[in-house]
Amino acid sequence: MPKSTAPTARAAKLRQLLNRAAHAYYVLDTPVMEDAVYDLLYQELLELETVTPALISVDSPTQRVGRQASEGFRRAEHRISMLSLNNVFDLEELQGWYEKLLRLLGRQADDLELVGELKVDGNALALSYERGVLVRGATRGDGSCGEDITDNVRTIATVPLRLHLDNPPDWIEVRGEAFIPNAAFAAINAERKRQNQTALANPRNACAGTLRQLDSKVVAERHLDFFAYTLHVPWEMSGRLQLAEQWQSLQQLEKLGFHVSPDRCLSANLDAIRDFYNYWQEQRKFLTYPTDGVVIKLNDLRCQEKAGFTQRFPRWAVALKYPAEEAPSQLLRLQVQVGRTGAVTPVAEFKPVALSGTSVSRATLHNADRLEELELHIGDTIIVRKAGEIIPEVVRVLEYLRPAGTSRASLPKHCPECASLLIREPGKAVTRCINNSCPAILRRAIQHWGSKKALDIAGLGSNLIEQLVDCGLVFSISDLYRLDRNSLISLDRMGAKSAVNLIAKLQASRAQPWHRQLYGLGIRHLGSVNARALAKAFSTFNNLVTVACLDPKAVTTIQGVGPEIAQSLHRWFTVPANSRLIADLHSLGLLVTKDDNEIGDFTEATAILSGKTFVLTGTLPTLSRARATELIENAGGQVTKDVSRRTNYLIVGNNAGSRLSKAQSLGTIILDEDGLRQLLAL
Ligand code: IVH
């Protein structure tokens, strides 16, 4: 975060920011700062105060004991302390926790049964039932005393007002997590957007704010849900309800009428827990409720009792958190990347942060519109996101942390590589450098030509390409084939042997089938699968050029090739500079057909999905159902309507239906559109 050079001033600023944020969170119920940012600033203040204790003041949030209770709700003393869980952050730490438990309980082998539950990202509630009737719903508060929010709890449709139990005992206490289901959270934010209000940052804060609403009608409108996970009963009841294990408690809670997360596992030791954790790390994006990790508990309740508690946490349970997907960082500079089609992409460079298990320091800002929308200033505190495979992106900017005197980041007017004026067509999001000999475009074009799915030229790495272009050895793809040993060895880190190897690889690449060369030209929208389809349909490259130029519609008769591709081919082939490139490549023996076997790897490649059965559900972000079906079938796969044991893959989009739960229960592999594209090598 932006730091002032004077520690005294910085500490004062941090105190002010943190106190304001805490007031907004606890008293006003309107969080103004993300938890991760609060933690980061708090940590910074703590460090300043540790180094210079004289900076500690009575109003420092580090000196606050407990939390300020909001007025408006009655206090609710907890009959049994409501503790939180200790966290571990990877499987190795989890192993350490388990081994400690084995030692504590005097076990030799790893034979302590565990229950794995998903860690629902909401707010803990304690529900008290007297003679089977809900009499109180309370928040955790400081663990010994929370707030009585019974009226609000009653609005949660899945909390039974009367337990499904004959002869209920005097009291029963059920604990669990109240949460806002993902769909309800999205609807709340859509409505807020419609009313020009800022979006709620995350479902947990939104849930906490909702639970502490003084008007329970508002709570009812938010459609909260509740998953029960702990059952406390008088000891004489445990026999009757057969409560010797956590697993049985969960089953009993279902019988009592509660909603219990169906996503749980019973494991003889850590093995199945590891699988459970790994499985949900990928699949949790398809869940209808928010999760941030898994909770692992000893199954045997007597063992739980023996293991007991530390000052703050149970020893018999632990939370294994999934790596953060969002984190704050500080914007250092705005970089501009020029792609092989000349498209200019603004890229944010920021202080490295750990996200989804990797260190991230760059994120795309997509285009000029997005840059405008974010109103980024250099030095801004930004929230960066990286969910699983998804490329990192800047989600939002924390304007209230903006240092004074900073300048707004915007796209340059000229290409940073060749200084040509950048062009943005009216109505288009993309800004482009349209200078065909721009070194940035050329570098990318060469990189694409040598890539695995194109000419597959090992050794043609980005460093070498940069040198080849910068030293003026290569002005086009075809120049690659004119490189000689002497000019190559003049380059940095290029010995005679590597030079000879590279030339050999380049020459060998001329024998690659022409569909690979076609793909290697980097024509927009033309992926490798469609390049193969075209090569199968046209006997020679020149045939394709003739048809694409004279009758682009005819190209669309080829399965998988739509008007977008046909138009793109037409446009590319009719640019004079590209015709010159083709002629040059022809003269070097490229893009010519020697015999029909040239497309020999076609059959093998298209058979990638042969024998595989797919089901599609929901709306995919970019592919229509018909198009996805066509792509799968082109690659040898089969698309059926319903999920069965024979289904190999379920492809899931937005608003997936019951097919998703069926696939989950059958253990079918579930992929999103990106996953499908990877399968199809698109
Ligand atoms: S057990 C004494 N089980 O996560 C232990 N907690 O970070 C009681 N949470 O305070 C908690 N899902 O609010 C438990 N399946 C689950 C949970 C869960 C979410 C919350 C709970 C807890 C916090 C700890």
Return the residue whose CA atom lies nearest to atom 8 of ligand 1.
84
What is the average pLDDT across 178-202?
86
What is the average pLDDT across 382-391?
81
Q: For position 27, what pLDDT does the model report?
A: 53
Poorest-pLDDT segment among 30-39, 84-93, 416-425, 437-446: 30-39
CB of 83 closer than 6 A to ligand 1?
yes
Quote the ligand 1 centre to 273 CA distance (angstroms). 17
What is the average pLDDT across 416-433?
88
Is-contact 115 250, C-beta < 8 A?
A: yes
The pTM score is 0.55
Task: State the pLDDT confidence band at 479, using cuts at 50, 70 and 90.
Answer: very high
Task: State the pLDDT confidence band at 62, using cuts at 50, 70 and 90.
Answer: confident
The highest-confidence range among 5-14, 288-297, 628-637, by mean pLDDT, is: 288-297
Return the residue whose CA atom lies nearest to atom 7 of ligand 1.
85
Q: For position 656, what pLDDT does the model report?
A: 84
Quote the ligand 1 centre to 662 CA distance (angstroms). 28
Is-contact 122 206, C-beta < 8 A?
A: no
What is the average pLDDT across 468-476?
91
d(Cα 603, Cα 636) in Å, to the nearest integer?
10
Catalytic residue among 13, 100, 119, 453: 119
Nearest ligand 1 atom to the CA of 82 is: 2
CB of 224 closer than 6 A to ligand 1?
no
CB of 298 closer than 6 A to ligand 1?
no
CB of 263 closer than 6 A to ligand 1?
no
d(Cα 602, Cα 565) in Å, to the nearest integer?
20
pLDDT, tens digit, 9 for 90 and up, residues 650-661: 898 988 888 888
Instruction: Give the helix/strand (H/E) hosting 359.
Output: strand 358-364
CB of 81 closer than 6 A to ligand 1?
no
Quote the ligand 1 centre to 680 CA distance (angstroms). 40
Is-contact 307 105, C-beta < 8 A?
A: yes
Quote the ligand 1 centre to 62 CA distance (angstroms). 25
Task: State the pLDDT confidence band at 71, using cuts at 50, 70 and 90.
Answer: low
Task: State the pLDDT confidence band at 600, using cuts at 50, 70 and 90.
Answer: very low
d(Cα 128, Cα 175) in Å, to the nearest integer?
9
Pocket test for ligand 1, best of 82, 86, 119, 127 (most atoms within 8 A of CB): 119
Computed over every residue of the chain, the mean pLDDT equals 87
Return the residue whose CA atom lies nearest to atom 22 of ligand 1.
84
pLDDT, tens digit, 9 for 90 and up, residues 98-153: 999 999 999 887 889 999 999 999 999 999 999 999 999 999 988 899 999 999 99
Quote the ligand 1 centre to 317 CA distance (angstroms). 9
Q: For position 177, what pLDDT does the model report?
A: 98
351 noted as active-site residue: no
Percent share of the chain, pLDDT over 70: 93
Between these two residues, 333 and 216, which has the higher pLDDT value? Answer: 333
Task: State the pLDDT confidence band at 63, using cuts at 50, 70 and 90.
Answer: low
Q: For position 682, what pLDDT does the model report?
A: 67
Between these two residues, 315 and 599, which has the higher pLDDT value? Answer: 315
Quote the ligand 1 centre to 175 CA distance (angstroms). 9
Return the residue whose CA atom lies nearest to atom 13 of ligand 1.
124
CB of 314 closer than 6 A to ligand 1?
yes
pLDDT, tens digit, 9 for 90 and up, residues 305-351: 999 998 779 999 999 999 888 899 999 999 999 988 889 999 999 99
Nearest ligand 1 atom to the CA of 317 is: 5
Is-contact 663 435, C-beta < 8 A?
A: no
Q: For position 604, what pLDDT does the model report?
A: 37
Which DSSP string do the residues of 625-661 spell out, in sequence order?
HHHHHHHHHHTT-EEESS--TT--EEEE-BT--HHHH
Separation of CA 630 from chain center: 28
Q: For position 5, what pLDDT does the model report?
A: 55
Q: For position 69, what pLDDT does the model report?
A: 38
Q: For position 2, what pLDDT does the model report?
A: 52
pLDDT, tens digit, 9 for 90 and up, residues 152-167: 999 998 999 999 999 9
pLDDT, tens digit, 9 for 90 and up, residues 660-681: 888 878 867 777 887 787 667 6
pLDDT, tens digit, 9 for 90 and up, residues 499-515: 888 888 888 888 889 99
**Amino acid, res. 507:** Q
Task: State the pLDDT confidence band at 29, using cuts at 50, 70 and 90.
Answer: low
Quote the ligand 1 centre to 263 CA distance (angstroms). 15
CB of 231 closer than 6 A to ligand 1?
no
Pocket test for ligand 1, best of 82, 83, 85, 205 (most atoms within 8 A of CB): 85
d(Cα 555, Cα 548) in Å, to the nearest integer?
6
CB of 265 closer than 6 A to ligand 1?
no
Quote the ligand 1 centre to 11 CA distance (angstroms). 34
Quote the ligand 1 centre to 84 CA distance (angstroms). 6
Nearest ligand 1 atom to the CA of 118 is: 15
Q: What are the C-alpha distances in Å from 152 to residues 67, 155, 225?
A: 21, 5, 12
Nearest ligand 1 atom to the CA of 121 is: 19
Task: State the pLDDT confidence band at 26, using cuts at 50, 70 and 90.
Answer: low
d(Cα 504, Cα 510) in Å, to the nearest integer?
10
Is-contact 625 616, C-beta < 8 A?
A: yes
CB of 124 closer than 6 A to ligand 1?
yes
Instruction: For residue 1, give the 3-state DSSP assignment.
Output: coil
Strand order in the sheet with 638-640: 638-640, 613-617, 649-652, 669-671
Pocket test for ligand 1, best of 39, 78, 142, 177 (most atoms within 8 A of CB): 177
d(Cα 568, Cα 530) in Å, to the nearest integer?
13
What is the average pLDDT across 619-623?
90
Pocket test for ligand 1, best of 88, 179, 249, 295 (most atoms within 8 A of CB): 295
Quote the ligand 1 centre to 316 CA distance (angstroms). 12
d(Cα 84, Cα 319) in Å, to the nearest integer?
9
CB of 85 closer than 6 A to ligand 1?
yes
Q: Supply φ then ψ for residue 408, to 5 degrees.
A: -75, 135
CA-wise closest residue to 297 among 263, 271, 320, 322: 320
Give the sign of the dihedral formed by CA 304, CA 308, CA 314, CA 320.
negative
Q: For position 669, what pLDDT does the model report?
A: 74
